[in-house]
Amino acid sequence: MEYNTDLPLPTRRKFDSPWDELNYTYRKLLYWFYNRENRSKSLLFAKRMIMILKKIPDIEETIKGNECLALINEVYGNWLLAAEYRKKEIDLIYRLRDLAKTEKPLAKERILKDFTPEDIADRYDLLAIELWRSGNFQEALLTLDKSEKICSENGFEFDGGNLRRDIEEEIGKVLTK
C-alpha cells in the first residue's frame, strides 16, 4: 500500500485500535526515516512502534507486522534481521495472493489490488538494500534479479538499476582490497 511520505501526518493522540495506531506510527516512521533521514526522530517512532506491536496478538504472522519489524530493524541498523522479516513479509504476500485465486471475485480483486506485482518488486528492492547492508552482496543481486523479472513480466520500469550498480561497485572495492 502506497503512502505519500512527502508531508508529515498531523499529530494524533487518540486511536480507534492498536491497528489504527500502528498504521499512523508506521507512516510517521516512514516520513522521518526515508524522507527526512532523521535518525533521532525515527528512533522515537521505532520505539513507539515496538510498544504497539506488543499489543497485537500474533503480529509476526501478518504482512503488516513483518513489514513493520523490518522497518524497525532498518532504523536500528540490524540489516540481517530486517532482511529476515522482509523475506517473511514477501512470503506472506505470495501466500495471500495464492489464496486470492480461490476467493470470490470481490475479495480476490481487493487482495490483488492491495498487493500488486509492483508492490512485490518494491519489497524485493528493499530486501536487496537490507541484504547489501548486511554484507550479503550476491544474495542482494539475486534479489534485484527477482525484482527486475517481476517488472519485465508486468510491463513496468525496473527502478533498481542504480542500486545494482552501487552493489556491484562495492563488490569491486572488496575484491580489489
Q: 142 Cβ partners below 8 Å, 6+ apart? A: none
The pLDDT value given to residue 1 = 45
The pLDDT value given to residue 105 = 81
Contact 89, 55 (CB under 8 A): no
Whether residue 108 is found in the same domain as residue 29: no
pLDDT tens-digit map of 109-154: 888 888 999 999 999 999 999 999 999 999 999 999 999 999 999 9
Whether residue 87 is found in the same domain as residue 133: yes
In a domain, 72, yes or no: no
In a domain, 69, yes or no: no
pLDDT, greater one: 86 or 107: 86
The pLDDT value given to residue 4 = 56
Question: How far apart (Å, rounded) are the C-alpha atoms in residues 11 and 173?
Answer: 44
Element (H, E) at 97: helix 79-100
Q: How far is CA 123 from CA 83, 94, 128, 130, 153, in A?
A: 10, 12, 9, 10, 16
Residue 110, all three cell numbers: 481487493
In a domain, 65, yes or no: no
pLDDT, greater one: 163 or 100: 163
pLDDT, greater one: 5 or 62: 62
Whether residue 50 is found in the same domain as residue 135: no
In a domain, 67, yes or no: no
Whether residue 104 is found in the same domain as residue 44: no
Contact 98, 128 (CB under 8 A): no
Whether residue 125 is found in the same domain as residue 170: yes
Tally of structural domains, the chain: 2
pLDDT tens-digit map of 15-68: 999 999 999 999 999 999 999 999 999 999 999 999 999 999 999 999 999 999
Is residue 95 predicted with pLDDT exceeding 50? yes
Range of the domain at 10: 1-57
Whether residue 89 is found in the same domain as residue 13: no
